[in-house]
């Protein structure tokens, strides 16, 4: 039997029998609906190291090597570093978690509550090659079985969050190097317009949630009445979504998805928020333009425009999370293939910099501030070693510059509640930067 593209996408998003839709309609985890008796037997036994710390992750990744590293806190202490002279990018004082810092003006537009949870990691990816983005996502050989960091995160987080699927979903990849892999297999790219066409159609899968809720709960009724202990019933009751809640979820999701008109970052954010609210996956990958591959960029005009719009996109994402009351359940993380050169010759564009890239982490588990630092390296600037306890960049840091990328991966896993033993087994070099965590 021939399967339509829409059916294939529905199956990819919601699993066999669309169990994910039943999970959305009832509030019960997909794993529970797949095997209720086994799930009830496991109540109270714990599914992950620290479920109280588990977070959904929205990952911004780019193979362009954007100049995001050129205008963030930590790059304004050396007058020889080139910044855009456009007034929109003026060096601006801001405060992050009580620390007085300087950055390009767009960063100061983020709400203080967001800034206080924002950590800027100054790292070394050790590659100047665009297609090596896939290797950077594998932490340049530091992960076991060459697993990508988003895949490692998803495997650890899915049991804690009860998502429909373990695999990450990428909705913003602009080149093959930005595509994600899981267990050695390439994952499909699902652009926002495809999500809209599949989920927001009328009639469509989101227009029948209330009936699907009642049907599913009726099917579980005998197990609930005759096969569940008092504690297990309390577990079910605590998770089940009411008819009123389902109606609100249905209306909100349809409104969000119906607003998508293209595959730009605005639409990617809308789609990412919807996927999190539907508990489809623990990790969603997007692409935020932040200056691009700007070898020739007169007066750094493109860098200016996309830094302004890129920070605005991050602000929009954080506002969307707050509006959905998800600001404590979702972290934003960025990881790009490399950064750009910073020295005084960069007035008409920037070159590839294998020694310096800045990753951003925003969320409840992260201590706001600057992690690491930069110093002159090979005629330009590169990341310094990091003191794992304080997060400061220093020549005497116990994390060598070459290990800062792996350490970022370990720190991200620690932030979302993965235990140190597991972290050390899946990432074989680097050290958790405790100074970056709350």
Question: What pLDDT was estimated at residue 1?
Answer: 45
Q: Answer whether residue 195 shows pLDDT above 50.
A: yes
Strands 181-182 and 185-186: antiparallel
pLDDT digits (tens, 9 = 90+) for 101-120: 999 999 999 999 999 999 99
pLDDT digits (tens, 9 = 90+) for 326-369: 999 999 999 999 999 999 888 899 999 999 999 999 999 999 99
Tokens describing residue 221: 């009724």
- Alpha-helix residue ranges (DSSP H) falling in 259-331: 265-277, 301-323
- What predicted TM-score, i.e. pTM, was given to this entire model? 0.90
DSSP string, 313-382: HHHHHHHHHHHTT-TTTEEEEEEES-EE--STTTTB---EETT-EEEEEESTTBPPEEEB-EEEETTEEE
Location of each CATH 3.40.720 domain in the chain:
53-192+275-436
Band of pLDDT at residue 47, cut at 50, 70 and 90: low
Assigned CATH for 53-192+275-436: 3.40.720
The Cβ-side half-sphere exposure at 412, using a 13 Å CA radius, reads: 35
- Cβ atoms 68, 39 nearer than 8 A: no
Tokens describing residue 342: 């910073």
pLDDT digits (tens, 9 = 90+) for 274-326: 999 888 899 999 999 999 999 999 999 999 999 999 999 999 999 999 999 99
- The distance from CA 86 to its chain's CA centroid, rounded to whole angstroms, is 30
Across the range 222-227, mean pLDDT stands at 79
If one counts every other C-beta atom within 10 angstroms of the C-beta of residue 13, the result is: 23
């Amino acid at each position: 039997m021939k399967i339509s593209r829409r059916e294939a996408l529905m199956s990819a998003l919601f699993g066999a029998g669309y169990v994910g839709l039943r999970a959305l309609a009832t509030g019960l985890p997909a794993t529970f609906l797949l095997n209720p008796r086994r799930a009830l037997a496991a109540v109270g036994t714990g599914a992950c190291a620290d479920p109280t710390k588990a977070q959904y992750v929205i990952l911004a990744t780019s193979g362009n090597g954007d100049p995001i590293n050129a205008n963030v806190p930590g790059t304004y202490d050396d007058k020889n570093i080139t910044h855009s002279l456009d007034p929109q990018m003026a060096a601006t004082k801001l405060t992050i978690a009580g620390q007085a810092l300087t950055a390009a003006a767009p960063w100061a537009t983020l709400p203080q509550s967001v800034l206080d949870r924002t950590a800027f990691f100054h790292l070394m990816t050790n590659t100047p090659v665009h297609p090596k983005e896939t290797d950077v996502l594998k932490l340049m050989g530091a992960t076991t079985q060459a697993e990508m960091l988003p895949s490692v995160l998803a495997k650890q987080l899915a049991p804690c969050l009860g998502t429909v699927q373990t695999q990450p979903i990428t909705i913003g990849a602009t080149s093959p190097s930005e595509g994600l892999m899981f267990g050695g297999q390439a994952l499909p790219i699902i652009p926002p317009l495809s999500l809209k066409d599949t989920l927001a159609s009328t009639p469509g899968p989101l227009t029948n949630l209330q009936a699907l809720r009642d049907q599913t709960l009726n099917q579980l009724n005998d197990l609930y009445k005759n096969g569940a202990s008092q504690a297990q019933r309390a577990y079910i009751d605590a998770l089940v979504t009411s008819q009123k809640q389902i109606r609100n979820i249905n209306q909100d999701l349809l409104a969000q998805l119906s607003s998508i008109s293209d595959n730009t970052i605005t639409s990617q954010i809308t789609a990412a928020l919807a996927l999190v609210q539907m508990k489809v996956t623990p990790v969603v990958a997007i692409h935020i333009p932040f200056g691009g591959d700007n070898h020739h960029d007169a007066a750094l005009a493109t860098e200016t425009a996309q830094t302004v719009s890129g920070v605005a996109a991050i602000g929009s994402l954080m506002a969307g999370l707050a509006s959905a009351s998800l600001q404590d359940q979702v972290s934003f993380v960025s990881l790009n293939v490399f950064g750009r050169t910073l020295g005084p010759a960069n007035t008409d564009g920037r070159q590839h910099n294998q020694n310096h890239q800045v990753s951003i982490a925003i969320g409840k588990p992260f201590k706001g501030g600057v992690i690491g630092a930069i110093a002159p390296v090979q005629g330009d600037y590169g990341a310094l070693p990091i003191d794992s306890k304080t997060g400061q960049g220093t020549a005497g840091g116990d994390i060598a510059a070459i290990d800062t990328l792996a350490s970022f991966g370990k720190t991200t896993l620690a932030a979302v509640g993965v235990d140190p033993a597991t972290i050390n087994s899946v990432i074989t070099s680097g050290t958790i930067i405790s100074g970056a965590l709350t």
